[in-house]
């Protein structure tokens, strides 16, 4: 899968190929030992690629109650929130 992703050259639109490649390079993923909250638990390391910056994290209240929230900025200045609920 990593070879296939690395072979793509996507021009003109934002994409997450670098993030997916960083994910696939993790030993836990290679060995099949990832889990539901794996990305959230390792987001700082995965976002170490220059495409993402973790801006803020912490509990926030939303439509489903309080959840753990992480805000990520991309190079275009867009903000994405990842949130999990117990």
pLDDT of residue 55: 84
Tell how far CA 37 is from the center of its chain. 11
Nearest CA to 50 among 69, 76, 82, 27?
Answer: 76
Each residue's pLDDT tens digit, 27-78: 999 999 989 889 889 888 887 655 677 888 889 888 888 988 888 887 777 7
Q: Per-residue pLDDT for 84 more than 80?
A: yes
pLDDT of res. 13 = 55
Q: Please give the residue that has the higher pLDDT: either 47 or 20.
A: 20
Taking the C-alpha atoms of residue 54 and residue 66, their distance in angstroms, rounded to an integer, is: 20
Closest CA to 80 of 49, 51, 45: 51
């Amino acid at each position: 899968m990593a070879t296939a992703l690395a072979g793509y050259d996507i021009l003109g639109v934002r994409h997450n190929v670098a993030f997916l490649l960083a994910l696939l390079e993790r030993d836990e993923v290679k060995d099949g030992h990832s889990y539901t909250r794996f990305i959230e638990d390792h987001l700082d390391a995965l976002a170490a690629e220059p495409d993402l910056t973790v801006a803020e994290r912490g509990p926030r209240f939303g439509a489903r109650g309080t959840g753990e929230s992480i805000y990520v900025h991309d190079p275009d200045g867009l903000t994405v929130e990842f949130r999990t609920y117990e």
